[in-house]
Amino acid sequence: MENTLHEKVSQDILLKAYNHMMLAKAMADIYEENRNVTKYVHSTSRGHEAIQLATAYQLKKEDWVSPYYRDESILLGIGFEPYQLMLQLLAKADDPFSGGRSYYSHPSSRDEDKPKIIHQSSATGMQTIPTAGVAQGIKYIQDFNLQQFENNPVVICSLGDNSVTEGEVSEALQFSALHQLPIIFLVQDNEWGISVTKDEARTCDAYEFVAGFTGLSRMRVDGTDFIESFEVMKKAVDFVRNERKPLVVCAKTVLIGHHTSGVRREFYRDEEDLTKHRSKDPGEILRNHLIESGVDEDLLKQITKKARLEAEEAFERAQKAEDPKPETVMQHVFAPTPITEESGTREPQGGEKIVMVDAAIHAIQELMWKHPEALLYGQDVGERIGGVFRETVTLGRKFGSKRVFNTAIQEAYIIGSTTGMSAVGLKPIVEVQFADYIYPGLNQLITEISKSSYLSQGKFPVSNIIRVPIGAYGGGGPYHSGSVESILANIKGIKIAYPSNAADFKGLLKAAYYDPNPVIMLEHKGLYWSKVPGTEDAKTIEPAEDYILPFGKGKVIVEADREETEKGRTLVIVTYGMGVYWAKEAVKKFNGRVEVIDLRTLIPLDEELVFEKVKAHGKCIVLTEEQLNNSFAEAFAHRISKNCFRYLDAPVETMGSLDVPAVPINLVLEKEMLPNAEKLSAKIEEMLNS
């Protein structure tokens, strides 16, 4: 796109921008003068004010913007007051964004009179995927006419130029270009990435880099010149608002202040570099233009003085504001779910048994018929094959390619885009093809999704379902057989289900849909079709459409004999997934002396049921398919020991796979590595006789 500049910027807008620039300067100066008070790490927008304000002034209440950590001038420009920003700077209770939980200029907002802002982390460039997800969601909403807008919404994702080298940025650019999303990627280039220069970090700037993305328009702008920036951003926003196509704007800026208060300019920059950057101070450039155009210099001095007084007053007020109460520290980890009790018909009269994979297909189908905001995407889930395990077969044909569609091999985008999709009111159901492939998406899962509710004070819980086929069977080998629940269970702020049969699967998937929090469904491949010997019970009568099974409710699936329990001759096995079938087979020869609990969900975990049964039996085995060292099973065994110590007749035991780095492809080696009913029987016998 060529930068054809022809719009005259009014003097009112120029004076407004000058006032905001003087506010931003005054705020930065005050922070520097009060380093003993501004003790939390922060960045300011000094040197970037022109492009940021020019961007902010284009935005309407229907729009969405993702500022990055240097974008305080965007926040000032869209209507936030210095006092509100300073509450976050000082981590005060009334910080409108995070309630004292996050850094300065890490906003999140649903204010009705302003553009909306999803939570984003400090991880550079990672906001591109969630923000592209917002644009993806808006396109979906408009395609299906789910909501009416006064103006076509525009999405803006702001980022620094050195973050463009991140792989996840390319995933966001690729998806946006391929699907023609209504998004502007605003790249602010001050030539520094902390102490890394542009010459050390990249072969070209962002404008040159994005040239290879067909369908992605691009513009350059001098981001220190407010007039040029305003005209370019007006053209850019008008283009996206009207054409509904993506665009990259590369703005050349300067870094006048420090990278952050923790990495100060004197650590890595010489005087020559600082002088070069200061010579392009956006405030001075605008001031000179205003004077040349006839504005009284005394008026500009008054604006500068008034901005300083306003910033000082706001800072004094912010210092006096209350800190968060300690008892609020656990608030907003999860949003409250409406699904707390089992409901509906689990076993309809005359119902037929179905396999687990069909339970998933039927549950999603029922949800998608009922809820137009539901959609499904991932690798190979579309109409042609319906998933590599046929786990989405027929859905693409029934709902069309805009609601069920294939993505590229982009696990980070598949997972991270659900943040933005959820923010605009959609319910994305996405799939990672194998558990072993979830690792590229962990960054999004950890830095963006899991923290979103907590750091936005509950404004943006991520409501999604991430389906993950998991587990070993039949020689799948080292990259298609792994178990990842311990890694996932270490991520605070997500929920994890691990069903072992069709009825539980369908009920939990329905509960996951109505849960406003992120949910991972771990689905054992060996149970999908009940083809593994001994897993016939994974087939169940299909529950009715209204059946819902809440998270955090384990189930006793094999009961011990009461008389044996009263004699102190029993133990309990706590397990999930394929472990359920090893346990059911192993206990057959122990004549009522073993009870088995199927956890069904790992987060939340039914500790109450487990502790009750361990106290009753006095002995416990926690059984998993995972390798044992540092696992979920070992951690849970510790909690059982701690809470049931007085009732134990023996240490809580764990049993799982051997501690090798991967599942071998050879069937003999695979069998040796994995637990099974025979190995479990030996462990049970040893414990019962101890």
Are 90 and 101 contacting, i.e. CB atoms less than 8 angstroms apart? no
Q: What are the residue ranges of helices labelled H in 371-455?
A: 395-399, 411-423, 442-443, 450-455
* pLDDT for 411: 95
- Measured between alpha carbons, how far is 523 from 512 in angstroms, rounded to an integer? 14
Statement to judge: residues 505 and 573 lie in one domain: no
In the listed set 490, 506, 541, which residue is the last one of a domain according to the structure?
Answer: 541
User: In b/e form, how buried is each residue of 641-672, taking b as 16+ CB within 10 angstroms?
Assistant: eeebeeebeeebbbbbbeeeeebbeeeeebee
Q: Tell me the percentage of the chain whose pLDDT exceeds 90.
A: 90
Report pTM: 0.95
Statement to judge: residues 203 and 271 lie in one domain: yes
pLDDT averaged over every residue in the chain:
95
Statement to judge: residues 287 and 358 lie in one domain: no
In the listed set 519, 541, 563, which residue is the last one of a domain according to the structure?
Answer: 541
Statement to judge: residues 267 and 295 lie in one domain: yes
What are the two backbone dihedrals, phi and then psi, of residue 377, each rounded to the nearest 5 degrees?
-150, 160
Rama region for 568: left / alpha / beta (φ>0; ψ in -120 to 50; rest)? left
Q: Total structural domains in the chain?
A: 3
Q: Is 331 part of a structural domain of the chain? A: no
Q: Is 127 part of a structural domain of the chain? A: yes
Q: Is 166 part of a structural domain of the chain? A: yes
Q: Is 22 part of a structural domain of the chain? A: yes
- Measured between alpha carbons, how far is 467 from 363 in angstroms, rounded to an integer? 13
CA of residue 48 relative to chain centroid, distance: 28
CATH code for the domain in which residue 565 is found: 3.40.50.920
Statement to judge: residues 559 and 533 lie in one domain: no
Statement to judge: residues 141 and 84 lie in one domain: yes
Q: Is 1 part of a structural domain of the chain? A: no
- 480 has catalytic annotation: yes
Token pair 């933005």 in the structure block, residue: 420
Q: Is 5 part of a structural domain of the chain? A: no
Q: pLDDT digits over 431-457, tens only?
A: 999 999 999 999 999 999 999 999 999
Distances (CA, A) of 42 to 35, 91, 629: 11, 11, 39
Q: Per the residue annotation, which of 480, 524, 617, 638 is the catalytic one? A: 480
Statement to judge: residues 46 and 92 lie in one domain: yes
Statement to judge: residues 188 and 53 lie in one domain: yes
3 pLDDT higher than 50 = no
Locate 392 and state its tokens: 């989405």
Q: Is 332 part of a structural domain of the chain? A: no
Mean pLDDT of 478-488: 96
Q: Is 336 part of a structural domain of the chain? A: no
* pLDDT for 391: 79
| Lowest-pLDDT range of 196-205, 401-410, 475-484, 614-623 | 196-205
Mean pLDDT of 627-651: 97
Statement to judge: residues 511 and 455 lie in one domain: yes
Statement to judge: residues 638 and 532 lie in one domain: no
In the listed set 541, 563, 597, which residue is the last one of a domain according to the structure?
Answer: 541
Are 489 and 632 contacting, i.e. CB atoms less than 8 angstroms apart? yes
Beta strand 404-406 with 353-354 is unpaired
CATH code for the domain in which residue 115 is found: 3.40.50.970
188 pLDDT higher than 60 = yes
DSSP 8-state secondary structure symbol assigned to residue 292: H
Beta strand 196-197 with 192-193 is antiparallel
> Band of the pLDDT at 5, cuts 50, 70, 90?
very low
> Band of the pLDDT at 110, cuts 50, 70, 90?
very high
Statement to judge: residues 578 and 487 lie in one domain: no
Mean pLDDT of 520-548: 96
Statement to judge: residues 247 and 365 lie in one domain: no
* pLDDT for 388: 77
Are 339 and 551 contacting, i.e. CB atoms less than 8 angstroms apart? yes
Reduce the DSSP state of residue 626 to 3 states and report it.
strand
Query: Where in the sequence is the domain holding 255, given as residue range(s)?
Result: 11-321
